[in-house]
Structures are given as C-alpha cells and as structure tokens.
Amino acid sequence: SCCFYSAPDKVLISGDTVFTDGAFGRYDFPGGSRQALERSLDRLAPLDVEGLYPGHGEPVDCSGKRHIAAAQQLMKGGYG
C-alpha cells in the first residue's frame, strides 16, 4: 500500500498500511509480508502526524501519531 505524507500539513494518507485505533493492514494475502508491514510502521512512527486518513474506517484530524504508535505496538507485541 502507498502512503503519502505532507510534512507542512502534518497529514498522512495511509491507504491500507495503518488505520485509526491502532489497526493495521493485512499481510496474509499472496505477496504479503508481516516483516514488510512492520518495517512500514517503523518508518511511519517517527513522522509528526496529526491528520490520519486511512483507506478504510474513520479518519482523524488530530493525534494521528498516537494511532500509528498503537499499531506499531500491537504488531511488535505479536498480534496477528
């Protein structure tokens, strides 16, 4: 999945990589990779994100970074 980040606006369009409430995309489809998804979350986590606009679910206009961190923790905790 592609993500697009605007640093001046602090906005991330995250596609199917990360969703609000700490959810993340699926990697169990053919060609998917848990390790690649984990690396993607690791790359997104340091970004200063306020607005998070995922490919599914409700977007948020503030505290997007918190949702990314929750997904990263869930992934590293062995979920999925």
Assign 78 a pLDDT band (cuts: 50, 70, 90). Answer: confident
Distances (CA, A) of 30 to 1, 2, 7, 21, 27: 14, 17, 33, 26, 8
Answer whether residue 80 shows pLDDT above 70. Answer: no
Answer whether residue 79 shows pLDDT above 80. Answer: no
Is residue 57 within 8 Å of 14, Cβ to Cβ?
Answer: no
Q: Kindly state the helix (H) or strand (E) to which residue 36 belongs, with its residue range.
A: helix 34-44
In sign, the C-alpha dihedral spanning 6, 11, 14, 18 is positive
Q: What is the mean pLDDT of residues 3-12?
A: 98
Maximum pairwise Cα distance, the chain: 36
Q: What is the mean pLDDT of residues 35-54?
A: 97
Give residue 25's domain range: 4-76
Domains identified in the chain, total number = 1
CATH number at residue 67: 3.60.15.10
- The model's pLDDT over 54-77, given as tens digits with 9 standing for 90+, comes to 999 999 999 999 999 999 999 998
